[in-house]
Chain A
Amino acid sequence: MRDHFKILKVDLSAGKAEVIRLEGRNEVAGGSGLAAVVFNRYGYFSRPWNHPEQPLIFAIGPLTGYFPLMSKTVCAFKSPYHDQYTESHAGGRSALSLAFAGIDALVITGRSREPCCLAVGSRNLEIRPAGFLWGLDVIRSGKILRNMFKTSSGHRSILRIGQAGEKQLAMAGINADTYRHFGRLGGGAVMGAKNLKAVVINGDAVLDQPDSRGYADLYKRVFKQVIDTGMMKKYHDLGTPANIMTLNSLQALPWRNLQASSDPGAEGISGERFAKDALLRNIACAGCPVGCIHVGFVREKFMKDNRYMYKQVAYDYEPIFAAGSMLGVSDCFSVLNIMDVMERVGLDVISGGVAIAWATEAFERGLIGPEETIIPLGFGNVDACKKAAFYLGTAANDFYRLLGQGTLKAAERYGGSEFACVLGQEMAGYATGELFFAAQSLGFRHSHLDSGAYSFEQKHAEKDVEKMVDFLMEDEVPRAFLTSMVACLFARGVYRPEVLSECLNVLGYEKLSMNVEQTAHKIRSLRWKTRFACGFDPDSITIPKRFYKVKSWKGPVDPAYLNALRSRYAERLKALADESQTP
């Protein structure tokens, strides 16, 4: 086992790479912690996100390849969305491919003179010109890339961008192996700014394994827990879309740009409906037996005389909310069709759906017209949503280009910021109330996964600001360690700190195994410190008026309580960043 990190740093300007030994395994573990250390070393707090020297980082953890569900990759970069440090996480095959390429992190700096793709493995490194791929969508370029890099089919990961990334939109994601994404906060734009269409990671090395019988036994025990607990049922069965009916019945599912939080149309886009009518099959991230990836299909008659085509689109709760209820669309096949357009152009579906929802309301209110939107927009108008998604992802005119940089950016010019559903970034699909709104707007990734606020809120109705903010602060700590192990957060019930400690110990990371909690705190601080160093000011983040008008099962949002939560959470975060910390 490596007591240090092995980094592969590729400079696209020079067309060269170096292998770097980096210390700090016992201090920051890997994944989120490693990415923050790498950014502190090779990134620039004050240079803009698209400066050629800014790094694009892909990091994994010490348990990847050795234990199940250690299957995420942490992608870190300075975000085009807010020009500050951030992380975006994806499943798929990239984590195992990186592990079997023999590296803890792939760091890409510089800017290629021409569009290119990068292929790395344990015994290969190649930067190939890829001008012919520029302008092609995610699906088409994926097919060509698989032909260009034929070796290791099944054991390689292909990360690529669509037109949204090429146009450097802040809503551009990085597609990972067709069905997963580093979706949020603009990683795709960072690749676009580097003239980098794709990264192919070839997992072709053989790793050492501990001699002890204990390792195989522990693997079996963890594996059994994963299989035997409710995880398989919860995440494989209906998967995350099970939330649609739950949240709709709680009046916590955003509809039509959050003008409502419940609608009878939910039945048409429920997890049950998708499973019954549109589910083609499940697939898994490499190294995970759960298989939570739900691939849906759409059969489409494109010409008379029974001429059909079909598409396969992976669905989850969040994209269904963004391309469904948020746009007033309540038919599962229509949702898949809208998602498919965003997938192809390489747009983050959550951000894209929420942005189009705002544009639709702005259109209906007359703030913008066909001159901006090209076509008339309307809630529930599926064709208009599909076209708007395409125009947005391809930055078809000045309006869509600006909207692609963030809904609030467009609202600043055209008006309508009061109904922009933005909480630090375009909202995730939880209108559960004050705690979630405060949590997403100030959370590190502005993600519903920074903490379990949406869930905690459903179980605790009391308006106790200290208690709630304590929860946000405390719940982030074990999550920071889990994402440093690159564990899927679905496995957080299995990978408790004591289990992680055992796993690390059996692989020979003794010191780290004894300091899980301390290391978790250190990683959390380091990430925040890095973001604050880039200029993060929690007080500058506003919560648009629309959120103050939400009515959930608890009743109307209490503005004073929301403001108190936000202020207190901001204070606590600022205090955290001030703590002394040596990267």
Chain B
Amino acid sequence: MKVLAASRIERCIGCHICSLACARLVHKCTSWDTSGIRIHSSGGLSTGFEAVYCLACDPAPCARACPTGAFIQRKGGGVKVKRDACIRCGNCADACPVNAVFLDSSGMPYVCIHCGRCAAFCPHDCLEMIEAGGGKDLSASKLEGPKS
């Protein structure tokens, strides 16, 4: 099972194309909030960017906190989401230690499902799919020099 990793987030230019891709392709809406990955500047643009997304916990505290089985533990980490079962209690968002679950104004949760569709749109190769359990933000390719 693979999971999303922002292995090279220090390359991020803050274009938000990944967030828009997730919203467009996974959640069928246009937004940079209702997305499994969200880009924030850390203290203004002069200090760079950070990606907020699911770090694929196993066991996942959000799944444990969900009272209706809408968030189900995913093999390899993270969760599968059954939207119809969600009662919008927000427990999942409260339980997430890295604020990876976004609640829209109606309380509907949005979280990364580790499908990797955002990664294909990143112009700087910040994102990749890695084997679960192999280290969350370090892959060998991060250590390579510049490509010609």
Contact = CB atoms under 8 A, between A and B. Distances in A.
A376 interface: no
Interface string A202-217: 0111111100000110
Contacts of A286: 14-16, 32
Interface residues of A, number: 42
Given A178-B46, A227-B123, A205 B16 contact: no
A223 B46 contact: no
Contacts of B32: 96, 100, 155, 203, 286
B44 A178 contact: yes
A286 B49 CA distance: 13
Given A223-B121, A283-B14, A289-B15, A155 B46 contact: no
Q: Which of B16, B23, B40, B49 has the most CB of A within 10 A?
A: B16
B20 A287 contact: yes
Contacts of B46: 178, 295, 312
A289 B41 CA distance: 16
B26 to A, nearest CB: 11
B104 A153 contact: no
From A146, A155, A215, residue with most partner B Cβ within 10 Å: A155
A291 interface: yes
Contacts of A290: 15, 123
Contact of A209 (B17, B24, B42, B43): B24
B43 A146 contact: yes
A498 B32 CA distance: 28
A133 to B, nearest CB: 16
Interface in B1-54: 13-17, 20, 23-25, 28-34, 38-46, 48-49
Interface in A249-304: 281-291, 293, 295
B16 A206 contact: no
Given A154-B39, A286-B14, A100 B45 contact: no
B88 to A, nearest CB: 15
Given A154-B49, A155-B33, A223-B121, A206 B104 contact: yes
Contacts of B20: 65, 287
B105 interface: yes
Contacts of A154: 14, 38-41, 49
A155 B20 CA distance: 12
Contacts, number: 93
B44 A209 contact: no
A205 B33 CA distance: 8
A467 interface: no
Contact of B34 (A146, A178, A206, A287): A206
B44 A146 contact: yes
A142 B16 CA distance: 21
Contact of A153 (B16, B30, B40, B124): B40
A252 B85 CA distance: 67
B114 to A, nearest CB: 20
A232 interface: yes
Contact of B31 (A205, A283, A288, A312): A205
Nearest to A280: B46
Could you say which of A208, A223, A227, A284 has the most chain B C-beta atoms within 10 Å of its C-beta?
A: A284
B13 A291 contact: yes
Please indicate which of the listed interface residues A179, A223, A295 has the most CB atoms of chain B within 10 Å of its own CB: A223
Contacts of A281: 13, 48
A282 B13 contact: yes
Contacts of A227: 123
B49 A285 contact: no
A295 B45 CA distance: 10
B45 A178 contact: yes
A291 B29 contact: no
10 contacts: A96-B32, A146-B43, A153-B42, A155-B33, A209-B29, A219-B24, A232-B123, A281-B13, A283-B45, A288-B17
Task: Please list the 7 inter-chain residue pairs (A to B) with the smallest Cβ-Cβ separation, ordered nearest first.
Answer: A154-B40, A291-B13, A284-B15, A289-B123, A207-B30, A284-B13, A206-B31
Given A154-B41, A205-B31, A281-B48, 4 more contacts: A154-B39, A206-B104, A223-B121, A287-B16
Interface of B: 13-17, 20, 23-25, 28-34, 38-46, 48-49, 104-105, 121, 123-124
